[in-house]
Amino acid sequence: MAKASNETRVATAEFTAGATAESGLPPPALAEVAFAGRSNVGKSSLMNSLLGRRNLVRTSNTPGCTRQINVFSARLADGLACHFVDLPGYGYAKVSKTEARGWGPMLEGYLRSRTTLRAVFVLVDVRRGVLQEERDLIDFLSRPPTVQRAVPTRIYVCATKVDKLPVSQHKPALAALAREAGFEVIGTSAETHFGREEVWTRIRKAIAGEA
Ligand SMILES: Nc1nc2c(ncn2[C@@H]2O[C@H](COP(=O)(O)OP(=O)(O)OP(=O)(O)O)[C@@H](O)[C@H]2O)c(=O)[nH]1
Ligand SMILES: [Mg+2]
* Interatomic CA distance for residues 47 and 188, integer angstroms: 11
Q: Whose CA is nearest to atom 23 of ligand 1?
A: 66
pLDDT tens-place string over residues 70-84: 999 999 999 999 999
- pLDDT, residue 210, reads 80
Mutate to test the pocket of ligand 1, among 35, 38, 41, 45 (most ligand atoms within 8 A of CB): 45
Task: State residue 120's pLDDT score.
Answer: 95
Q: Looking at the domain 10-208, which fold is it?
A: Rossmann fold (3.40.50)
**Domain map of the chain by residue range?**
10-208
Q: Nearest-5° angle of CA 79, CA 82, CA 87?
A: 155
The pTM of this model reads 0.92
Ligand number nearest CA of 47 is 1
Q: Answer whether 60 contacts ligand 1 (Cβ < 6 A).
A: yes
Mean pLDDT, range 24-40, rounded to an integer? 94
- Ligand 1 atom closest to the Cα of residue 189 is 31
Cβ(99)–Cβ(67) below 8 Å: yes
Q: Output phi, psi for 45, to 5 deg.
A: -65, -40
| Torsion angle, alpha carbons of 40, 38, 145, 207, to 10 | 20
Name the range with the highest mean pLDDT among 60-69, 103-112, 128-137: 128-137
